[in-house]
Amino acid sequence: MSQSVIGRPSVNPDTSSPDTPAPTDQRPHGLVWKLGRWFLDGLPTIIVMSVLVAIGYYGHTHHWKIPTFAELTGQAKLVVKDWCEEHGVPESKCVICNPDLMPASPDYGWCTEHGVNNCPLHHPDVAELKKTPVITEATMQQADRALALRERPDNNAACKVYQKRIQFASNEAVQQAGVDVELVDQESVTEWVSGTGEIRYDPTRLANLSSRVPGTAWRVLKNVGDQVEEGEILAVVDAAEVGLLKTDLVKAIVAEKLARKNFERLNGLKGAIAGKDILEAESILAKEEAEVLSVEQALANLGLSVDVSSIANLSKQAMIDRLRFLGFPNELAEQFRSQTASANLIPVRSSMNGVITERNVVSSEVVTPERTLFEVADPSWMWLILNVPLEEASLIQVGQQVRFQPNGSRKEVTGNLSWISTAADKQTRMVKVRAEIDNAEGQLRDETFGAGRIILRQEKQAVVIPRSAVHWEGCCQVVFVRNKHYFDSPESPKVFQLRNVRTGFVNGNRVEIIAGLLPDEVVVTQGSDVLRAQLLKNSLGAGCCAE
Ligand SMILES: [Zn+2]
Ligand SMILES: [Zn+2]
Ligand SMILES: [Zn+2]
């Protein structure tokens, strides 16, 4: 046997030199020498035997078969391995080929309510957690709210991919594959509809002010940005019409006084004069009284109120003097008296408390009632106008909170939706919505553009994981969950369980999981391409929905 194995010519002391027996004098220690020689000649055989025994022992302890003679002589290839090609782990450890090594978790099938297979909300024992968690009513209601709000991506009820498991040979193999995991945590979720838009002055708190009569701007007293109060004078216009009305008023008062005096005189002579003369005087008085009222009203229409009774007893000149700065407070009147001889002045007053946001007039400029001289806005409340995609408009309701971040600002302002347009823009397919924003601190400016969010739902504690953890496998969304026995010992099978998930709100690279994962489970977030590749291999490339 040894000759065959090592393939060497045999060396035997009995046949080494048959024709020349060694002289005994040259070999003083005949027996010892013979034994030594025999040992040396047999050494290769001994080594080979020892190696075979060692291989046999190793093979025995590792459930190998002792190699056949043919294998060892090179007449067949050496096939000594324990490897499951399909699942990429030692065959003896493959939990997929040997389910007894790790019995599959229970299969509860499809959950109609949450749209996942093996729903952890209804069957928390499917969670890869050592201790089965308790699902509270609040958690169930939270899932209900998320599902009731809007349509969520659906999973295929018939797909069995959630039953699959992916195994690695060792934790080192997991790390070498670049697989990274994350503890499933809870965080707050705010679901919103976004829209772009702008801050505008509330037009119900906006005034466009003009002169009530044509004229020229004599003084402009206020500028853009000035705070003004209701009634405050912004400019002074010199209008001939005003002077004429004042003259008319004085004339009318004088004429009325005369008519009254005449009537009273004739009335005192009753009986001595014809009744028709008294009637005529009475009618003239009535006409003059009406004239006074008419001019008084014309002035009042210009915002120039006159207390006729307080001036009626003055002299004509005193009346003219008193009316000269009609409509101006005494302080201004005194100031103007030295600056102009005109009696045509009329103030342009603010109709509300606010800020001057526009000024379209300079001194000496011709003004007309049609032309806006000032815009005054009350910026303590502003309008936020947002454009929302038509498809999302059905999600929004009056009263919902709105948050707006002006471009270039970090601070969000908030308000509540007060109006939703019933029509969509034909071109942009956008629906306009409006919110009133408290701007008491004055941080918002008109025509400020930015991004708005209409808050649909807020949850304090939702399951949220990186988007990279969720995979669309053709007909359902899955995650890879680390088996709860993964770290029981270094020898524990390194298994990841597939799990159906129902996704909710997506915010950047984070996604809410409505159902399918429970807090404290461990989910693959990085390198899951390796797991997917293994999954496809297991399914013979047929993908998610193949059985
Ligand atoms: Zn296998
Ligand atoms: Zn369920
Ligand atoms: Zn599927």
Centre of ligand 2 to C-alpha 152, Å, is 15
Instruction: Say which ligand is closest to the CA of 90.
Output: 1
Residue 522: name the closest of 502, 542, 494, 503 by CA.
Answer: 494
Centre of ligand 2 to C-alpha 112, Å, is 7
Instruction: Say which ligand is closest to the CA of 135.
Output: 2
Residues 6+ apart with CB under 8 A from 179: 168, 524, 526, 527, 528, 530, 531
Residue 256 sits in the same domain as residue 338: yes
Asked which of 44, 61, 78 is the last residue of a domain, the reply is 61
Residues 6+ apart with CB under 8 A from 485: 102, 492, 493, 495
- SS3 category, 346: strand
Beta-carbon neighbour count of residue 347 at 10 Å? 24
Range of the domain at 476: 91-190+458-538
Query: What's the average pLDDT block by block, 10 residues per block, for the chain (547 residues)?
Result: 39 43 47 56 60 52 49 52 86 89 89 97 96 96 96 94 91 92 95 94 92 96 95 96 95 95 91 87 95 96 92 91 93 92 94 93 96 94 95 94 94 94 94 94 90 96 95 90 94 94 95 97 90 74 49
The predicted pLDDT at position 62 comes to: 52
The predicted pLDDT at position 247 comes to: 95
CB 333 within 8 A of CB 343: no
The predicted pLDDT at position 441 comes to: 87
Centre of ligand 1 to C-alpha 97, Å, is 4
Structure tokens at 317: 């000149």
In a domain, 201, yes or no: no
Residue 339 sits in the same domain as residue 268: yes
The CA distance from 519 to 133, in Å, is: 9
The predicted pLDDT at position 183 comes to: 96
Instruction: Say which ligand is closest to the CA of 116.
Output: 2
Instruction: Say which ligand is closest to the CA of 99.
Output: 1
The CA distance from 47 to 269, in Å, is: 166
In a domain, 437, yes or no: no
Residues 6+ apart with CB under 8 A from 467: 506, 509, 510, 511
Asked which of 18, 41, 61 is the last residue of a domain, the reply is 61
Q: How many domains does the chain have?
A: 3
Centre of ligand 1 to C-alpha 530, Å, is 17
**Around 199, how many Cα atoms within 13 Å sit in the side-chain half-sphere?**
26
Centre of ligand 1 to C-alpha 255, Å, is 119
Centre of ligand 2 to C-alpha 186, Å, is 19
Residue 104 sits in the same domain as residue 54: no
- SS3 category, 221: coil
Residue 189: name the closest of 505, 421, 452 by CA.
Answer: 505
- SS3 category, 282: helix
Instruction: Say which ligand is closest to the CA of 121.
Output: 2
In a domain, 50, yes or no: yes
- SS3 category, 339: coil
Instruction: Say which ligand is closest to the CA of 139.
Output: 2
Measured between its terminal Cα atoms, the distance across the chain in Å is 53
Centre of ligand 1 to C-alpha 443, Å, is 66
Centre of ligand 3 to C-alpha 544, Å, is 4
Instruction: Say which ligand is closest to the CA of 93.
Output: 1
In a domain, 295, yes or no: yes
Instruction: Say which ligand is closest to the CA of 518.
Output: 2
Instruction: Say which ligand is closest to the CA of 516.
Output: 2
Centre of ligand 2 to C-alpha 136, Å, is 13
Strand ordering across the sheet containing 345-349:
345-349, 233-238, 215-220, 366-367
The predicted pLDDT at position 474 comes to: 82
Centre of ligand 1 to C-alpha 91, Å, is 6
The predicted pLDDT at position 8 comes to: 40
Residues 6+ apart with CB under 8 A from 472: none
Residue 467 sits in the same domain as residue 526: yes
Centre of ligand 3 to C-alpha 314, Å, is 100
In a domain, 211, yes or no: no
- SS3 category, 300: helix
Which residues lie across from 197 on neighbouring strands? 386, 450
> CA torsion sign, 408 to 412 to 418 to 419?
positive
Centre of ligand 3 to C-alpha 261, Å, is 106
Centre of ligand 2 to C-alpha 482, Å, is 21
Instruction: Say which ligand is closest to the CA of 89.
Output: 1
Centre of ligand 3 to C-alpha 472, Å, is 8
Note residues around ion ligand 3 (Cβ under 5 angstroms).
156, 159, 161, 475-476, 544-545
The predicted pLDDT at position 54 comes to: 56
**Around 80, how many Cα atoms within 13 Å sit in the side-chain half-sphere?**
16
In a domain, 436, yes or no: no
Residue 154: name the closest of 514, 438, 421 by CA.
Answer: 514
Residue 96 sits in the same domain as residue 180: yes
Q: What is the DSSP secondary structure assignment for residue 537, as one 8-state letter?
A: H
Which residues lie across from 480 on neighbouring strands? 498
Structure tokens at 233: 């004078």
Residues 6+ apart with CB under 8 A from 533: none
The predicted pLDDT at position 33 comes to: 55
- SS3 category, 532: helix
Task: Report how far Cα 453 is from the mean position of its chain's Cα atoms.
Answer: 6
Centre of ligand 3 to C-alpha 161, Å, is 6
Centre of ligand 1 to C-alpha 277, Å, is 131
Structure tokens at 199: 């801050």
Q: What is the CATH number of the domain that holds 476?
A: 2.40.420.20
Centre of ligand 2 to C-alpha 126, Å, is 12
Residue 109 sits in the same domain as residue 49: no
Instruction: Say which ligand is closest to the CA of 169.
Output: 1
The CA distance from 172 to 168, in Å, is: 9
Centre of ligand 2 to C-alpha 463, Å, is 15
Instruction: Say which ligand is closest to the CA of 500.
Output: 3
Task: Tell me how far CA of residue 197 lies from CA of 175, 215, 414, in angstroms.
Answer: 47, 40, 14
The predicted pLDDT at position 473 comes to: 79
The CA distance from 117 to 159, in Å, is: 9
Strand 215-220 versus strand 233-238 pairing type:
antiparallel
The predicted pLDDT at position 23 comes to: 44
The CA distance from 209 to 360, in Å, is: 10
In a domain, 413, yes or no: no
Asked which of 343, 373, 392 is the last residue of a domain, the reply is 343
Centre of ligand 2 to C-alpha 120, Å, is 7
The CA distance from 281 to 267, in Å, is: 9
Centre of ligand 2 to C-alpha 518, Å, is 12
Residue 127 sits in the same domain as residue 183: yes
Instruction: Say which ligand is closest to the CA of 493.
Output: 1
The predicted pLDDT at position 539 comes to: 61
Instruction: Say which ligand is closest to the CA of 120.
Output: 2
Residue 56 sits in the same domain as residue 138: no
Residue 545: name the closest of 480, 467, 477, 481 by CA.
Answer: 477
In a domain, 497, yes or no: yes
Residues 6+ apart with CB under 8 A from 162: 116, 117, 118, 476, 478, 498, 499, 500
ipTM: 0.95
> CA torsion sign, 539 to 544 to 546 to 547?
positive
Centre of ligand 3 to C-alpha 158, Å, is 8
Question: What's the angle, vertex CA 41, arms to CA 35 and CA 43, rounded to 5?
Answer: 100
